[in-house]
Structure 1
C-alpha cells in the first residue's frame, strides 16, 4: 500500500471538510469574524491556517527529507497543540452547534490519520539527505496546492478579524423608564447582540426567543431568560415591550423557492407566532417594535434623484413582498390594541453584519466599485440604530407606524467605495462587473447592484439627531474602535 499517496488523499479530504467548516460554520452560521468574544479563537485559526497552508503546498508535490523532515514533524506537533487549544477556547467562549462539533470531530480523526500515515514514511525521509524531492501526484498535487492557497487566504481573513474585533464601546442609547420586561426575538443576531446588553444596562428584564435557547443563554452569560417557543409563554406572562428582530440572513444562499420559504418563515412566520401570543395575553404589551427592511421600497432607477420616505409605496418584487408580508403579520397586533412600530432597517454599519465582508476586499487592496457604482446605498450606523430604537421606545403609543432607520446621507456605491478605501488607506481601483454577481446570486444580486435613496423622515421629524450621519464619520468611528 502506498501510504504516502493515501495520506495525501486524506489531506485533500481534510481540505474539503475544512472549507465547509470555515464557510458554513465560521462565516455563515456562527459569524465568528463579527464576534468580539471570538477574537482569541480567530487568532488560533489564523495560526493553524498558516501552518496548514505550508503543509498543503509543501506536501502537494514534494517529499521533505533530512532536516526538513524534522521541520515537518515539528509543524505537525504545533498544529496538534493549536487544535487542542482551539477546542478549549471554543468551549470557554461559545456553545458549538451539533453540526460543527461533529465536523470538528471528523476533522480531528481524519487529520490524525493522515499525520500517522506520513509518520510511517518519516524514518526513510529522515535518513535521506536534507532537501525537497519533487514527487508530483498529478491533479491531486494541483488540488492540494489550491487548498493551500485557500487556507492561506482564510488565515489572512481570520488574522484581520482577530485584530479588528475588540468589544466596541457600549453606545449611549438609554431605554428609559421604570424597569420593564422585554421580549426580544433575533437576540443572537448582529443587532440583537448589541441591543440586549443595553436593555439590561437600562435596568430591564429580558426574555429571549431563540431556536437555540441554550445557546442564547450562553451568549448573554445567563443574564436573560431564553425560551425556544412562544408556547412556553403562558397568557398570564407580563411583557411590557416586544422587540422583534428575528429573520434568517437575507444575503447568502441563492434565492431558490426553498430559500425564499425559509426567509418567509423566519420573518412573517415567526412574527405570526409572536402576534398570536399577544392576542392571547391577558395583559397586552404597551408596544411592539418589529423589524422590517428598506427592501420594502424595492429599487430605484440608478439615474433617479428621488428620495423615498415612509409614505413611498412598495414594489412587486420578492424582497419588497417579503417585507410587506412581514409587516402585515406585525400589524395584526393593532387589533389587540397594541401600537406597532415598523422599523425599516437600512444596511447596518458596525463591527458585524455585512460591513466586515464589504470592507475585506479593500483591506486586501482589491476594492472598487460594484457594477455601475451609481446605485444608492441607504445605511445606518449601529449606534444610531440603537439610539433610534430607544427614541421609538420613549415615544410609546405615538411610535405606531413605519420608521426608516437610515442615515441622512445615501451615497452611491462608488462614493462608499472611495470612502472605505480612504479610511483603510488602500486603493479603489478594481471594479467588480455586474454579470458574475448576477450569475452567482440571481435575483439576490439586486441587493448589491441596485439600490434606493431612503430618507429617515420620521426620525428627523420627531427630533432624533444622528451621531454618524455620513459614511465617512461612521467608518472613522468603527476604525477608531479597532
Structure 2
C-alpha cells in the first residue's frame, strides 16, 4: 500500500508512519524540508508548500492520503497565532485538494485531521458524530471550516473521513507537560475540575486511522476519542496515582487565563465526545480506560 502523509514528522504522523511500515506499506511524507530527512526503503520524503515544490511529480499511485498538517494550537492565542492556526490548515488542505485533482490515479480515501473542538464545550451534553451543528467558539469555527474544505475531496470521488482528535496521550504531545507538576509534587485539578477530558491513547489514534483507511463503509466525521472520558478532577487523581504522587494543589482558573489567554479554554472547559461511529463499525479499543493507558505510557 502507498500512503501519503502531511504532518508526517509530527507526533501522530511519526507513530502512524512506523505502524504503516510494520504493515509493509510505503509512506510518502510531504514536508517543507525534505533535505532534513533521509529516505529509506519504506519512507520517501517529498517537498511541498514551497515555491518550486511539485510533489505530484514524485508521488506514485496512492491508496490513501492522510492530511495532518497544521500549526500547533498550543501557545498564547494572539490574533496572529489564531490566524496561523486556521490559515495553515486551510492552506495545507487546499494543496492536498490540488494534488488530488492532479493525480491521474486518485487514492481510495482521504483521512483529514480535525478536532473534538468542533462541538464546542459543555459540562452536561455528550457529543457523537450525529451532532451536526458546530460550537460557537474559536476552535469550533476552525474545525468546521477545515472540515468543509476537506469535504471537497468527495466531489473527486475520494472517500473522505474527518478525524476529530481528542486529547492524545503518549510520550510526546501534551501529556509530558500535564504530568510535570505532579512529578514535582505540585499536581492537582485545574479550575473547577468538573470539565470533561475526552482523551485517547496514541496507539488507538494510529489504529483508528488505519481502521478508517481499511473500512470502506466509514466516511464523514470520526471521533478519535476513547469511550470513557473523565472529568478533570478524576483524570488528575488517576494521573497522580499512576505517577505515585499526591494530587493536592489545584490550579486556579485565573492563573490559567493569565498564563494562556484564550487558549485556557482548552483546559478550563471541556466536552464529552464519544466514539460512536468507531464502535458502530466494530472497532475495539486497546485502551478504553484511563489508568491502563497511563500505565502503559509511563512504563516505557
TM-score range, shorter chain: over 0.9
2:68 maps to 1:249 = no
Aligned to 1:421: 240
2:225 maps to 1:406 = yes
1: CA distance, partners of 2:196 / 2:40: 40
* CA apart distance, 1:401: 0.8
Q: Which runs of 4+ in 1 moved over 6 A?
A: none
* CA apart distance, 1:214: 2.1
2:189 maps to 1:344 = no
2:229 maps to 1:376 = no
Aligned pair count reads 295
1: CA distance, partners of 2:225 / 2:190: 21
Give the secondary structure class of the aligned counterpart of 1:399: coil
Aligned to 2:280: 461
Aligned to 1:68: none
Aligned to 1:434: 253
Aligned to 2:62: 239
Aligned to 1:357: 177
Give the secondary structure class of the aligned counterpart of 2:29: strand
1: CA distance, partners of 2:127 / 2:139: 17
Aligned to 2:114: 292
2:131 maps to 1:309 = no
Deviations 1:224-266 (A, max 9, x none): 21122164223784222101111211112x2122111211122
Q: Which structure would you say has the larger Rg?
A: 1
2:2 pairs, out of 181, 189, 193, with 181
TM-score, length-normalised on structure 1? 0.59
1: CA distance, partners of 2:138 / 2:221: 20
2:145 maps to 1:322 = no
Give the secondary structure class of the aligned counterpart of 2:107: coil
Q: Which structure carries more strand by proportion? A: 2
Aligned to 2:102: 280
Q: Return 5+ residue gaps in structure 1 as ranges.
A: 1-179
2:47 and 2:55 in contact (8 A); partners too: no
2: CA distance, partners of 1:354 / 1:472: 17
2:113 and 2:162 in contact (8 A); partners too: yes
2: CA distance, partners of 1:448 / 1:241: 33
1: CA distance, partners of 2:148 / 2:83: 17
1:391 pairs, out of 190, 208, 211, with 211
Higher relative contact order (CA 8 A, sep 6+): 2
Q: How does 1:68-147 map onto structure 2 within 5 Å?
A: none
1: CA distance, partners of 2:8 / 2:277: 25
1: CA distance, partners of 2:267 / 2:41: 38
2: CA distance, partners of 1:443 / 1:206: 37
Deviations 1:331-384 (A, max 9, x none): 111111101011100000111110011011111111001000000000100111
TM-score, length-normalised on structure 2? 0.94
2:90 and 2:146 in contact (8 A); partners too: yes
* CA apart distance, 1:270: 0.5
Aligned to 2:295: 476
Aligned to 2:28: 207
1: CA distance, partners of 2:202 / 2:293: 9
